[in-house]
Structure 1
Amino acid sequence: MCSIPHIPSITLPAFVFTNPAASILLPITLGSAVGCSTQPKKTRKIDNIISQPPLYPPAWVFAPVWTLLYGTMGYASHHATTLGLSSSSSPRIRNLALTGATLYTTQLMLNLAWMPLFFGARWPAAALVDIIALTGNVGCLVYVWKQWDPFAAWLMVPYLGWLGFAAYLNAGFGVLNGWDIGGVRKVEGGK
């Protein structure tokens, strides 16, 4: 399970993991940049014209939740990687730490791809495939980190929970809107 090798060419540079500020600020900065690039006004407009699944939270919830999750995942990556690559770690743990760095990088790429797929391209089916792959990637990452850093693994649990909820919302939008959120149509009784 989760026997992904370390792939240096797609893994963030080591200094990102060894510097706590860089570890935390990188995902927050990238997540914020992607969020801003999807044109928030257009995003709010889409939210107002398509059918929303039950339990859809107010729009203002997303920015603080994602900021907290990005910061937490960044700190977890710093903690797990620094501990795993320490001189007292066994060769097995050092290899797992390198694998964890690759898994962390790929989950971040998948995470950052979701918003452009859903809100930019308005492809809810592709966004759902992305978020399912992202959730599996994070599950593998938690499994790998848990082998030497249970603290970092537990820090990722709220993220996994939020990804499950986000996948539900993504699927709900898709089903309720015939997997087409590109049109500008009014929802019956809508806002």
Structure 2
Amino acid sequence: MTTFIPSITLPYVVFSNPAASVLLPVAFGTAVGYGCRPADAHDTYLALKQPPLKPPAEVFGPVWTVLYGLTGYAAHRAVTAGLERASLPSTVRAAKHGATLYTIQLALNLAWMPLFFVAKRPIAATVDAACLLGINGYLAYLWGTVDEVAGWCMVPYVAWVGFATYLSAGAGYLNNWDLTGKKARNDD
């Protein structure tokens, strides 16, 4: 089991407010997306050799937005259920541990795009994605013990992170783990 680390965990006020809990990861994800120069990331994506089943670049923004919102909602449900309505100490511990894990996974998730598209480090990005997959699989289980709906809300996210890990590893492998100089030519 993990541990609750208050110094690295989002404040309870974020989890207790449904709007803040949902909008925070959406806002952070949007900020990172725009901070990574979307046009450059799009050009790099188009220039890479990609594994089978790669979706069009336009799919990622809407999918991540929905999934960030869904995980924020799961966080709200699990943490408030565990800390406000729980009568068992084990449920309170699970909610607190989950809040720390959620914060860690959010940071890892936000690090992936800069690692892959800005730093052009596909190995580090793929390790990041694999860690995300493991943490979120466990988080879905843990939060499912606190609030069943919260656990189920994490399932689409875990599935997409698994797919994203495949895409990251596939693109890294197909491009010899070297993304330097990978950018589509502009035809304007």
Amino acid at match of 1:63: G
Amino acid at match of 1:103: L
Q: For 2:17, which of 13, 19, 23 is the aligned residue?
A: 19
Distance in 1 between residues matched to 2:60 and 2:182, nearest whole Å: 23
Match of 1:154 in 2: 152
Q: For 1:92, which of 90, 93, 96 is the aligned residue?
A: 90
Match of 1:58 in 2: 56
Distance in 1 between residues matched to 2:109 and 2:85, nearest whole Å: 31
Distance in 2 between residues matched to 1:150 and 1:171, nearest whole Å: 32
Distance in 2 between residues matched to 1:42 and 1:172, nearest whole Å: 20
- Structure 1: where are the runs of 5+ without partners? 187-191
Distance in 1 between residues matched to 2:33 and 2:95, nearest whole Å: 30
Does the alignment pair 1:123 with 2:112?
no
Residue correspondence of structure 1 range 1-191 to structure 2 within 5 A: 3-184=1-182
Q: Which runs of 4+ in 1 moved over 6 A?
A: none
- Structure 2: where are the runs of 5+ without partners? none
Match of 1:189 in 2: none
Deviations 1:97-132 (A, max 9, x none): 111100110110110010010011010000000011
What secondary structure is seen at the aligned counterpart in 2 of 1:85?
helix
Distance in 2 between residues matched to 1:120 and 1:182, nearest whole Å: 10
Distance in 2 between residues matched to 1:88 and 1:135, nearest whole Å: 28
What secondary structure is seen at the aligned counterpart in 2 of 1:111?
helix
Distance in 1 between residues matched to 2:183 and 2:45, nearest whole Å: 11
Percent identity over the alignment? 54
Distance in 1 between residues matched to 2:20 and 2:160, nearest whole Å: 23
- Contact in 1 for aligned 2:86/2:92 (Cα 8 Å): no
What is the alpha-carbon root mean square deviation over aligned residues?
A: 1.4
Deviations 1:6-57 (A, max 9, x none): 0001000000000000000000000000000110110111122221111111
- Contact in 1 for aligned 2:115/2:124 (Cα 8 Å): yes
Q: How far 1:184 moved relative to its partner?
A: 3.7
What secondary structure is seen at the aligned counterpart in 2 of 1:147?
helix
Distance in 2 between residues matched to 1:29 and 1:115, nearest whole Å: 15
What secondary structure is seen at the aligned counterpart in 2 of 1:156?
helix
Residue 85 to residue 178, structure 1, CA distance change in 2 (3 Å): same
Q: How far 1:185 moved relative to its partner?
A: 7.1
Aligned length in residues: 185
Q: Which moved more, 1:134-143 or 1:113-122?
A: 134-143
Q: How far 1:148 moved relative to its partner?
A: 2.1
Residue 184 to residue 146, structure 1, CA distance change in 2 (3 Å): closer
Distance in 1 between residues matched to 2:48 and 2:155, nearest whole Å: 30
